[in-house]
Each structure stands twice: as structure tokens, then as C-alpha cells.
């Protein structure tokens, strides 16, 4: 189930349960299932005549139907209305008394202070429109409650704490109350499994967007289901959220149009666009994108990498008022895409390799042959537009790709001369000649289902380097290796480059491809040193597979 489907089904279940009028004992479901709610509104067993005078709560977004009986509240149950008897509630629900993970609480936990997540004014945000946060009671470990799903289910500021993961594994996540993911401005981010000095655990949720304080900008900033619930709000700017057709996905090496008039329709004195890239931009000496027209109404940026790019538009109108919109643009490439970047890329030449499916031969025939890498591995020698190796172009039996998949890259003219984009393909080789300070990437646009590839990075010089490798499958980040705190250290080859030097065998990647030939995901397994269950496998002067 996708994260969006998970959120939608959770909300549907909530509304169905809230509308149930049958009697209930108020006892929590202790079978271990996540977020199973009491079906009795107050939890009390209905023993008297029907309650016909209790309207909907105006302060509690979890209640969506009138009470159905005259019984008092069951204070040992889940959704406990502290003042509910036969009249309307006048105060919000009391904190739940349950200690089980399936007890639902009303607030947004640690997100309350940051977002001003207080009860909305019903004049501006009616109860029927409000999206509940769906926070469960505090958990010592979300793994204990089987809630390892990329959400901060107990709203304590930690996502999937205690959950088991594999080094480098990446998953979608949401830094906010789980019920408000993909609502309004709120957008899923990415978190990576890291180890540092201890056991593997999920790192922070990054490059997404959680709830923020509501402002007058045409967007539901606090993600509670209501837009611009501020008295007197008449926005001059219309900021986009996830799924807005004005901010579609882009593709690597393709121009992405930014049109200010799509978001601000008034008279402007100045325009300003800024772009923030992903983890590679934090270490690269040059940006992983170009931006033209940064101070004009219409701008264009061209990304070199996949993933999330954050766009900010700032407009000053003729009266000096400042308007700002920030959103995330997803850059999505097809198939399996391996991207490598490193901070030393203006002074050192690292090389990215991808061994083809079914091949397990050495990367080089000997430790001292640095010019004839394996013909079965996509590399600088055989996978660019111009072939430099003696064995010719790599051939894994895949068809070529249309020119628009590669012609926008640094070797666009050479690909155009060839007439198509090869598959696999090395778009950028940072070799301090044709490319300096750039990331490298290898693409398999159309793999076969079940094909397995091995990723390797070579440093044949004596200069130490700290590479990062990101693996995208079907346009989604599936794994990331080398990011802090799991930074590569002591990774250097031979002085004078007289041998194959250091080789980092990163991971094995197995493609998942549907019947239509579309890559939908991958299984990625980090390669650890022989006999070890964690850590990176790096050798010196050892070209073995």
C-alpha cells in the first residue's frame, strides 16, 4: 500500500467508526493491531433512552456523529469525552487514559507548538472539514506496536524509533501528525537507515514538508483540512502544495519552467527564485543544477540529479509587500539510476561502475591493469556516448532509449550524433577534463524484472575521497550510502595511480519491473566486508567481484 493510500484508508476508517451508533463497552482492542478504535463514542455502555439532544462536538475533530445513548463516559476507554453526558461538550476531550498503542489522542504531540495546532474556529474551519491528526498514545518503541511505516504515529518527534532497517535503505516518511500527510502543504520526505557508531536505525525525515503556522497564501499550511482560516484573509499569492498541476514532476537533464504568474497575479516590483538541491548539493563544489532568470518573472532550472529540489519564489509588489512560496519539485528518471557525488570532485577522479546482470567476473583482469576494465561492467571505458575502451561498447541486450533521455546532458551533442541513448548509459564522467566538480550517474532505463546489478566506486589515486551513492528505482530513492554519520573515511588508492587502487563494493540492486516494462522498485542489499553484518566493503588493489 502506498503512503497516500494508507492515509486515505485511515481517514475513511475513522469516519466510519465515528458514525457508528451501536453500544460499545469502551474496552480497547488489545490484539496488537495499530490504531483500532473504540466504536462507542464516549465509551459508555448505552443503557438508557436515546440521547437526542447532544449535537456534534464543536471542539473535538475526532467526533463526527451525535451521541447515541444516555450512559456516562467510560473513563477507562479510548476516546473519552470528559464532560459529555446528555448535552454538547464544552471543553475538548481529556487526555486518554489508555496506555495501548491503539488508543487515539486528539492533539498533534510535539507538533502543537510549532504549528499552532489549536482547535480551529468553526466559523472558518467547520468540524466536517477538519482532518484529525491521528496521533496514538505515547510509545516506547513504534516497532513494539508494529507501526514501522514511515510515520510518527505517537507524535513524539521520532519516526519509526526502535524499528529494524538495513544500512542505506531509504523510505518515504512524514514529519508531522500521521493523519495530515499529503494534506494541504504537507508532503512526504525521505529517511535513510544509518548506523553511525551503533546499530542500524532510521535517520531524520528530510526533504519533505510538515505542518507550519497558517498564513494567508492560498494554501493549507497547517494541513488541518482548511485553507487560510484567518479572519480577513484575501490572498494575493496562491502557493502550491503536493499534487498541484502547476508544479509537475521533472526529469534529469531537462529544462523545468518556473512561471511566476502561475502563483502571483498582481503587479510586482521584483521577482526572485532560489533552488535548494538534495544531499549531493551539500557536498558538491558546484550545484547539481543550473538556474537562469533567477530575478525575472519566468525562470528555468535544469537538474542533473534525481530526487527533491526545493523551489522558493519571493515577490515584492509595488507597495513593498513581500510574498513567499516554497514547494518541492520531484525530479524523476525511469528505470534504475545510480548517482555518485563527492566533495573532492574538482581535484580527484573517482569512477562509478555497474556490473551487468548475471556477471561476477573481476572488475579488472589484474591489480596493475588500470586501462581495461571489465567489458561486462558499465564504466568510463564503454558506457559513454564516445567509447574509449578497447573492448567496444557494453551490451547487456537491452534496447536503446529515445534521445530525450540523454541529449540534455553534458554529452548531448555526442548522443545526438549517435542517434539514440544507450541502455545502460553513463551520462557524466567527472574525469577532470570533460567534467569537473560534477556528479556521475549510470542509467538502465529499461531493465528486465529480476535483473541484478552490482554497484562499485573506484579511487585509483592516492587522494582520499568521501563519495555518496544514491540509488533510484522507478524515480524513487531506494537507498543512500556514504551520507553522515556513515561517511566513507580513509578511502584512497595508490600514490601515482600505478594500480587499481581502492574499490568500494556498494550494493547489489535487483530491479522490480511490471508487465508493461515499468520499473516499480528495487531490492537493494548493502555489501559488507566478508564475515561482517554491517559496514562498507572497501579493498585496495583487489579487482575481484
pTM score of the predicted model: 0.80
What pLDDT sits at residue 103? 62
Q: Are residues 324 and 344 in the same domain?
A: no
Is 163 contained in some domain? Answer: no
Q: Are residues 390 and 265 in the same domain?
A: no
What pLDDT sits at residue 122? 85
**Count of domains for the chain:** 3
- DSSP 3-state helix, strand, coil percentages of the chain (rounded to 5)? 10, 25, 65
What's the CA gap between 458 and 494, in Å, rounded? 11
Q: Are residues 299 and 368 in the same domain?
A: no
Kindly report the number of other CB atoms within 10 A of residue 59's CB atom. 17
Terminus-to-terminus CA distance in the chain, angstroms?
Answer: 36
Sort strands 377-378 and 351-355 into parallel, antiparallel or unpaired. antiparallel
Q: How far is CA 82 from CA 52, 78, 92, 254, 428, in A?
A: 19, 12, 8, 58, 64
What's the count of helices (H) and strands (E) in the chain, helices before strands?
A: 3, 22
Q: Are residues 422 and 402 in the same domain?
A: yes
Helix (H) or strand (E) holding 258: strand 256-259
Is 505 contained in some domain? Answer: yes
Per the CB < 8 A criterion, the answer to whether 208 and 183 are in contact is: no
SS3 190: strand
For 523, the grid coordinates are: 531490492
Q: Are residues 293 and 353 in the same domain?
A: no
Name the domain boundary from 63, 79, 106.
106
Q: Are residues 355 and 262 in the same domain?
A: no
Is 391 contained in some domain? Answer: yes
Name the domain boundary from 331, 355, 374.
331
Peptide bond into 3 cis (omega under 30): no
Planar angle of CA 44, 46, 49, nearest 5 degrees: 135
Is 93 contained in some domain? Answer: yes
Name the domain boundary from 297, 331, 365.
331
Q: Are residues 400 and 485 in the same domain?
A: yes
Residues in the chain: 545
For 81, the grid coordinates are: 469525552
Nearest to 159 by CA among 197, 85, 210: 210
Q: Are residues 271 and 344 in the same domain?
A: no
Nearest to 417 by CA among 438, 403, 437: 403
Range of the structural domain that residue 19 is part of: 1-106
Cell 554497484 identifies what position? Answer: 455
Q: How far is CA 248 from CA 232, 244, 251, in A?
A: 31, 7, 10
Q: Are residues 322 and 449 in the same domain?
A: no
**Residue 496 per-residue DSSP state:** T
What's CA 491's distance to the chain center, in Å?
29
Is 362 contained in some domain? Answer: yes
Query: Domain containing 312 — which CATH number?
Result: 2.60.40.10
Read off the pLDDT of residues 449-480 as tens digits, 9 standing for 90 and up.
999 999 999 998 889 999 999 999 999 999 99
What's the CA gap between 73 and 238, in Å, rounded? 45
Read off the pLDDT of residues 107-135 as tens digits, 9 standing for 90 and up.
788 888 656 556 678 889 999 999 999 99
Q: How far is CA 254 from CA 12, 240, 242, 437, in A?
A: 39, 21, 21, 20
What's the CA gap between 507 and 353, in Å, rounded? 11
What's the CA gap between 187 and 239, in Å, rounded? 14
State the burial class of residue 103 (Cβ atoms within 10 Å of its Cβ: 0-12, 13-18, 19+).
buried
For 293, the grid coordinates are: 532568470
Cell 558538491 identifies what position? Answer: 284
Nearest to 26 by CA among 78, 82, 83: 78
Q: Are residues 304 and 410 in the same domain?
A: no
Q: Which residues does the chain have with pLDDT short of 70? A: 1-104, 106, 113-119
Is 293 contained in some domain? Answer: yes
Is 214 contained in some domain? Answer: no
Q: Are residues 346 and 478 in the same domain?
A: yes
Q: Are residues 374 and 494 in the same domain?
A: yes
212 contact partners, CB below 8 Å, separation of at least 6: 114, 115, 185, 221, 222
Q: Kindly write down the DSSP assignment for every residue of 384-440, as one continuous string.
A: SSS--STT-S---SPPPB-GGGTTTSTTHHHHHHHTSB-SSEEEE---SSS-SS--E
Is 318 contained in some domain? Answer: yes
What's the CA gap between 15 and 17, in Å, rounded? 5
What pLDDT sits at residue 5? 35
What pLDDT sits at residue 497? 75
Amino acid at each position: 500500500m502506498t503512503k497516500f493510500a494508507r492515509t486515505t484508508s485511515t481517514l475513511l476508517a475513522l469516519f466510519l467508526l465515528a458514525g457508528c451508533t451501536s453500544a460499545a463497552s469502551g474496552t480497547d482492542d488489545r490484539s496488537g493491531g495499530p490504531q483500532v478504535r473504540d466504536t462507542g463514542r464516549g465509551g459508555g455502555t448505552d443503557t438508557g433512552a436515546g440521547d437526542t439532544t447532544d449535537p456534534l462536538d464543536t471542539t473535538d475533530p475526532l467526533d463526527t456523529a451525535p451521541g447515541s445513548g444516555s450512559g456516562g463516559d467510560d473513563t477507562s476507554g479510548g476516546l473519552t469525552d470528559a464532560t459529555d453526558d446528555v448535552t454538547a461538550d464544552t471543553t475538548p476531550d481529556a487526555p486518554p487514559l489508555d496506555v495501548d498503542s491503539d488508543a487515539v489522542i486528539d492533539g498533534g504531540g510535539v507538533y502543537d507548538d510549532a504549528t499552532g495546532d489549536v482547535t480551529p474556529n468553526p466559523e472558518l474551519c467547520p468540524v466536517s472539514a477538519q482532518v484529525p491528526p491521528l496521533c496514538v498514545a505515547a510509545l516506547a518503541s513504534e516497532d513494539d506496536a508494529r507501526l514501522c511505516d514511515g510515520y510518527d504515529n505517537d507524535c513524539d518527534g521520532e519516526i519509526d524509533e526502535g524499528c529494524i532497517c538495513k544500512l542505506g535503505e531509504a523510505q518515504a516518511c512524514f514529519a508531522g501528525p500521521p493523519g495530515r500527510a499529503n494534506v494541504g502543504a504537507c508532503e512526504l520526505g525521505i529517511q535513510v537507515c544509518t548506523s553511525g557508531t551503533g546499530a542500524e536505525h532510521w535517520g531524520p525525515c528530510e526533504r519533505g514538508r510538515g505542518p507550519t503556522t497558517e498564513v494567508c497564501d492560498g494554501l493549507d499550511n497547517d494541513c488541518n483540512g482548511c485553507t487560510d482560516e484567518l479572519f480577513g484573509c484575501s490572498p494575493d499569492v496562491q502557493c502550491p502544495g503536493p499534487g498541484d498541476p502547476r508544479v509537475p514532476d521533472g526529469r534529469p537533464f531537462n529544462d523545468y519552467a518556473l512561471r511566476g504568474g502561475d502563483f502571483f497575479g498582481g503587479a510586482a516590483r521584483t521577482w526572485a527564485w532560489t533552488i535548494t538541491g538534495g544531499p549531493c548539493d551539500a557536498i558538491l563544489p558546484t550545484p547539481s543544477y543550473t538556474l537562469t532568470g533567477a530575478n525575472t518573472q519566468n525562470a528555468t532550472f535544469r537538474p542533473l540529479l534525481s530526487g527533491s529540489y526545493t523551489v522558493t519564489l519571493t515577490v515584492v509588489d509595488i507597495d513593498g509587500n513581500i510574498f513567499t512560496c516554497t514547494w518541492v519539485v520531484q525530479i524523476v528518471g525511469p528505470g534504475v539510476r545510480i548517482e555518485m557525488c563527492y566533495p573532492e570532485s574538482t581535484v580527484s577522479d573517482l569512477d562509478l561502475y555497474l556490473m551487468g546482470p548475471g556477471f561476477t567476473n573481476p572488475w579488472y583482469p589484474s591489480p596493475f591493469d588500470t586501462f581495461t576494465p571489465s567489458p561486462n561492467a558499465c564504466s568510463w571505458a564503454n558506457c559513454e556516448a564516445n567509447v574509449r575502451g578497447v573492448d567496444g561498447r557494453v551490451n547487456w541486450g537491452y534496447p536503446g532509449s529515445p534521445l530525450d533521455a540523454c541529449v540534455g546532458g553534458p554529452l548531448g551533442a555526442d548522443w545526438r550524433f549517435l542517434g539514440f541513448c544507450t541502455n545502460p548509459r553513463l551520462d557524466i564522467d567527472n574525469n577532470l577534463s570533460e567534467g569537473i566538480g560534477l556528479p556521475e550517474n549510470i542509467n538502465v532505463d529499461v531493465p528486465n524484472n529480476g535483473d541484478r546489478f552490482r554497484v562499485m566506486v573506484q579511487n585509483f589515486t592516492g587522494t582520499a575521497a568521501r563519495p555518496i551513492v544514491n540509488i533510484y528505482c522507478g524515480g524513487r530513492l531506494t537507498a543512500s550510502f556514504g551520507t553522515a554519520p556513515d561517511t566513507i573515511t580513509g578511502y584512497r588508492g595508490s600514490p601515482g595511480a600505478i594500480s587499481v587502487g581502492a574499490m568500494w563494493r556498494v550494493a547489489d540492486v535487483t530491479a522490480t519491473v511490471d508487465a508493461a516494462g515499468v520499473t516499480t522498485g528495487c531490492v537493494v542489499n548493502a555489501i559488507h566486508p566478508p564475515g561482517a553484518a554491517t559496514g562498507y566493503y572497501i579493498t585496495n588493489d583487489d579487482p575481484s567481484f
